């Protein structure tokens, strides 16, 4: 059997995301996009209403709710076999999203930003993703420094897993994300990919999000995020070989096919 994997398709209901801001800001367009991503192979749809690109400004909860809840509700109804995720750090947004049919909370703060998030996820029995991020989106890329980025990320994720389990979240419902591009310079991102097996060894499924990110542009000379598909494929295949199992991407069809081929090589015979 080849190694199992999930492709998490990105549905940005935002005007300012770094590579597709505004394209799916309208609810109808966002729903159509989500349906297209599912048809292309996404098994998880990650719906977000607040950009987490470097330098992004925060969004009020009421506006974030207005953006994501109708989209989540319609996608959950139309796609009962697809996991619908809400990408948020706010418990009030996560609660409304779960009420609307979401069953996964993807929190870039690892459930730290809002003190109500840990008990909410535990009470609802939702799956969650705990991500490492230095600082916050507005400040995270201001000269990040680590003694050993992989060790620091690993320790942080282990601490957040322990906090989540202590709060009543079942270990099997926890995924972790090393936060590539979130408070990391180029060499930090490369080190995390090179030593990703150390993050995989923590235990929970590892989510990798390299799609179209600026470090790929620096490595390839591609200034346009839309021209970074080849770099995205390379990093995702390398991550699969290292043991990652969830891949958060914009270009679902191409990534799905690359992973499907790679899985037959790196999976058990």
Active site residue ranges: 213, 248
For the chain, what percentages of helix, strand and coil (3-state, to nearest 5) are there? 45, 15, 40
- The SS3 assignment for 36 reads helix
Furthest C-alpha separation in the chain:
50
Residue 85: CA count within 13 A, CB half-sphere:
28
Beta strand segments in the chain, E: 6-12, 44-48, 83-87, 104-107, 127-131, 174-177, 205-208, 246-249
Contact criterion met (CB below 8 Å) for 34 and 9: yes
Residues 227 and 223: their CA atoms lie apart, in Å, by: 8
Residue 11: CA count within 13 A, CB half-sphere:
34
Residues 206 and 210: their CA atoms lie apart, in Å, by: 13
In 3D space, the residue among 268, 200, 187, 182 whose CA is nearest the CA of residue 238 turns out to be 200
Query: Distance between terminal CA atoms of the chain?
Result: 7
Beta strand segments in 179-252, E: 205-208, 246-249
């Amino acid at each position: 059997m080849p190694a199992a994997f999930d492709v998490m398709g990105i549905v940005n209901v935002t005007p300012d995301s770094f590579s597709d801001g505004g394209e799916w800001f309208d609810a109808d367009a966002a729903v159509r996009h989500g349906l297209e991503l599912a048809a292309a192979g996404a098994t998880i749809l990650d719906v977000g209403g607040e950009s987490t690109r470097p330098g992004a400004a925060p969004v009020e909860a009421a506006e974030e709710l207005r953006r994501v809840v109708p989209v989540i509700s319609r996608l959950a109804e139309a796609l009962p076999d697809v996991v619908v995720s809400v990408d948020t750090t706010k418990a009030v947004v996560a609660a409304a999203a779960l009420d609307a049919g979401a069953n996964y909370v993807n929190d870039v703060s690892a459930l730290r930003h809002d003190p109500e998030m840990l008990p909410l996820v535990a009470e609802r029995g939702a799956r969650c993703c705990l991500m490492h991020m230095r600082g916050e989106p507005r400040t995270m890329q201001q000269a990040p420094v680590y003694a050993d980025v992989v060790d620091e990320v690993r320790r942080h994720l282990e601490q957040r897993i322990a906090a989540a389990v202590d709060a009543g979240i079942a270990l099997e419902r926890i995924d972790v994300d090393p936060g590539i591009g979130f408070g990391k310079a180029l060499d930090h991102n490369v080190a995390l990919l090179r030593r990703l097996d150390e993050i995989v060894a923590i235990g929970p499924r590892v989510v990798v999000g390299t799609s179209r990110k600026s470090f790929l542009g620096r490595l390839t000379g591609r200034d346009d995020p839309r021209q970074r598909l080849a770099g995205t494929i390379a990093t995702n295949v390398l991550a699969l070989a290292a043991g990652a199992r969830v891949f958060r991407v914009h270009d679902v069809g191409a990534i799905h096919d690359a992973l499907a081929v790679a899985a037959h090589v790196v999976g058990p015979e």
